[in-house]
Chain A
């Protein structure tokens, strides 16, 4: 079975600063995909970024980057130049290659951006 752990229930960051949200995972599957989603107060799930276990480079999407350390089984999300609109819940999720099509989610981190 796979497991995703997000150890930071809540975090504050000053507007315009960078912030790192932690995610560690556990799976016996050598092939897997890692995802980050944002859930604002309105409740929808917004896809942010994807990292494949075979990818040699860390994924980047605009202000989002993924600090992927395969040996440590961590996939931390880095948000640069935080904005007030970044205040939301953030979820790390994983899909092992050989365990069906479903995503397994971590418990989430609530990020609050201070003006």
Chain B
């Protein structure tokens, strides 16, 4: 019963290097998300995927790309890392667990990836 699995848990990059953060969920959720959390702040949405085959920009998409590889996997790529991208990155997925005029969504978060760009 893994839920949302993120890899790696920690990463240090040099400025200009590239890397891909991996995320996989085993709950058959349609929607997946990437958030970043800077020190002492709330989570801000980078990109999301409402369903397999679709991706959309969130609040802070600059410097990132995403791929919804299949229903399970949603990766986040930094093409040329910058110190401003030092953050903790969370992947999440969601499902509707009660439908109606106001559907109720449940969200499951991964444990986060702590990324430092030097």
Establish whether residues A95 and B90, one from each chain, have CB atoms under 8 Å apart when the complex forms. no
> In the assembly, what is the distance between CA of A97 and CA of B43, in Å?
19
Q: Which of B43, B90, B101 contacts A31 (CB 8 A)?
A: B101
If the complex has contacts A100-B48, A101-B31, are A106 and B102 also in contact, measured as CB distance less than 8 A? no
Q: Which of A11-19, A45-53, A60-68, A70-78 binds B? A: A45-53
CB neighbours of A45 from chain B (8 A): 43, 90, 92, 109
If the complex has contacts A44-B111, A44-B112, A91-B42, are A102 and B101 also in contact, measured as CB distance less than 8 A? no
CB neighbours of B27 from chain A (8 A): none
Contact string, A82-98, partner B, CB cutoff 8 A, digits 1/0? 00000000010001010
Establish whether residues B88 and A97, one from each chain, have CB atoms under 8 Å apart when the complex forms. no
Establish whether residues B94 and A105, one from each chain, have CB atoms under 8 Å apart when the complex forms. no
Contact string, A31-44, partner B, CB cutoff 8 A, digits 1/0? 11101000000011
> In the assembly, what is the distance between CA of A4 and CA of B43, in Å?
11
Would you mind naming 24 contact pairs between A and B with Cβ atoms under 8 Å apart?
A6-B42, A9-B40, A31-B102, A33-B102, A33-B104, A35-B107, A43-B111, A45-B90, A45-B92, A47-B107, A97-B103, A100-B48, A101-B31, A101-B48, A101-B50, A101-B105, A102-B33, A102-B58, A103-B33, A105-B35, A105-B43, A106-B42, A108-B40, A108-B41
List 14 additional A-B contacts (Cβ < 8 Å) besides A45-B92, A101-B105: A33-B102, A33-B105, A43-B88, A43-B114, A44-B112, A52-B102, A100-B50, A101-B31, A101-B48, A103-B43, A103-B45, A105-B43, A108-B40, A108-B42
